[in-house]
Amino acid sequence: MRLSARNILKGKVVALTRGATTTHVKVEIVEGMVVTASITNEASDDLGLMVGMDAAAIIKASDVMIGTEL
C-alpha cells in the first residue's frame, strides 16, 4: 500500500472500545507510547481489527500543535 501521508507509526493494537457508531482503537507504537484513533464500526469490522494484531496509525494533518506546561 502506498500513501501520501508521511507519518506512519507502526505498532500493535492494544485495545478496542466499541461504541454505538465508532470504535476507539489504541495502537502501541513503542512500550508506553499509545496512539488512539476513532474510526467507524464499519471500518473496524472491514479491517478485522483484533487486540494483538499489527497495525499502523497513519496521520495526515495540515497542522500540528505543540503544548507546554507554563
The CATH number given to whatever domain includes residue 52 is: 2.40.50.100
Tell me the per-residue pLDDT of 12-38, one tens digit each, with 9 for 90 and over: 999 999 999 999 999 999 999 999 999
Give residue 44's domain range.
Answer: 7-59
Assigned domain for 68 exists: no
Assigned domain for 28 exists: yes
**Number of domains into which the chain is organized:** 1
**pLDDT recorded at residue 50:** 97
* Sequence-separated (6 or more) residues with CB below 8 Å from residue 15: 24, 25, 26, 51
**pLDDT higher for 57 or 4?**
57
Strand residue runs (E) in the chain: 7-18, 22-30, 33-40, 54-59
pLDDT exceeds 90 at position 65: no
